[in-house]
Structure 1
């Protein structure tokens, strides 16, 4: 099930003498909204209902920050346009972090060694997760080397900006186990599995 996350940022009442002047801007994650439809009207209605449920005054909202998907950013019927009915002061801003992630994604494709690295990381993930046999070799290598077994390889996704870090970190933390498992598979096995392990080991 796809989910829409809701985060709010606000400035406490400046007339309140108890306000900490050093930390004026507050940010809170309010929750997820399960989605069955993904059209602009459904998304906008869900956002309004969610905020009303928590008694957040919509007329006080001055900024709407979404990614650049057309359903959110469309100038005629995007979510931000529909929300203006309830939030007349709301100004749409394309999420800077999302744009940065897209720029990093394009950069990683253009720089050869970065593109090669993420390609190999993706192949390693597939190799050790799509087969129970290779996964057993990987887990055994972790045990033999005294590594944390709960640490698994991760798949990176274009739209999730933190996934590259988790994918890289997983490879770094499990690198000795990856090498041992690939070596054991290439030596013990035969056929395509051993060949693929040997090919990954050469990289």
Structure 2
């Protein structure tokens, strides 16, 4: 193996040939990328877009922000411009590596906070935009100052959502961070059979390994389902939400209608501001559209009603226009 290696390209030889200026330039180049990654990660923004070629008019967030940083600092611009072609500080691979380092540092800090304390697991799974199943893990514990903490511990891709797969992934993560499953004192999941099944659910499998662990159906989810079930027993309430859902679906089915709705809403706000019936200020009068109500989404019914109240007149205008111009029976 040693004989096959090109000694002149050995990593140690390459490092020894760097002078202090080159080292400083490389560190500055990398620091610029790290700072941009940090901003995007903390703001929860997407890093990349569909077209990141040099002639693209919209190279998306990472490269755009990096270009902005470069435009205000000639030294950084010079360092990045003169960087060798094999310096991939801006590549997606490097972005992921930087994010991975941040993730590990956050998890390490959370692990140190947990210490020897007992903890609870809050787990849910959902499908992301790429149609892959992801499992989110939150750890609930009491810190050394007596405060209840619920830090987000990570998102894990799962090839399927069978109970054994979910259990193995959870145990793997806990083991990787030296968290003993015998210290689990509570499980918090939704009401899906995969999660809370009495015999083969995740709840049952974890309880078999740790008899001290008890299961609690997510309080928010349980309350939401109870409220939805009760409201459906009241005919007027059920009729109202059925009609609300119909309105949201009809208006939201067309991009053209949504754009018209937003335009009418802007005109409405301008009118109310002009006659001084609406306060102005930072964060007020944000342009929005109608919201869907989901049975399993806490607060979604209130948001749906509030959205209709806020843009009631523009919504009526859209519906009247559909009635006048509609060419099918349903319209």
- Residue 82 of structure 1 deviates from its aligned partner by 1.7
- Residue 95 of structure 1 deviates from its aligned partner by 2.0
* TM value normalised by structure 1: 0.77
Contact kept in structure 1, 2:291 and 2:304, CA below 8 Å: yes
1:160 corresponds to which residue? 297
**Equivalent in 126, 131, 152 of residue 254 of structure 2:** 131
Q: 1:56 to 1:168 in 2, by over 3 A?
A: farther
Q: 1:112 to 1:190 in 2, by over 3 A?
A: same
Residues 1:145 and 2:282 aligned together: no
- Residue 86 of structure 1 deviates from its aligned partner by 5.1
2:269 alignment partner, SS class: coil
- Give the paired residue count: 186
Q: 1:67 to 1:132 in 2, by over 3 A?
A: closer
Alignment of 1:8-157 (within 5 A): 8-13=139-144, 19=145, 21=146, 24-84=147-207, 87-146=210-269, 150-157=287-294
Residues 1:7 and 2:144 aligned together: no
Contact kept in structure 1, 2:163 and 2:195, CA below 8 Å: yes
Q: 1:12 to 1:139 in 2, by over 3 A?
A: closer
CA deviations on 1:106-153 (whole Å, 9 max, x unpaired) are 112111222122112211121112123433432332232137674121
Contact kept in structure 2, 1:134 and 1:185, CA below 8 Å: no
Separation (CA, whole Å) in 2 of partners of 1:161 and 1:37: 26
Contact kept in structure 1, 2:266 and 2:287, CA below 8 Å: no
Contact kept in structure 1, 2:185 and 2:214, CA below 8 Å: yes
- Residue 5 of structure 1 deviates from its aligned partner by 2.6
Contact kept in structure 1, 2:262 and 2:289, CA below 8 Å: no
CA deviations on 1:46-81 (whole Å, 9 max, x unpaired) are 222333344433321111111222211122221012
Separation (CA, whole Å) in 2 of partners of 1:107 and 1:28: 33
5+ residue gaps in structure 2?
Answer: 1-126, 128-132, 271-284
- Rg (Cα) greater in structure: 2
- Residue 164 of structure 1 deviates from its aligned partner by 1.8
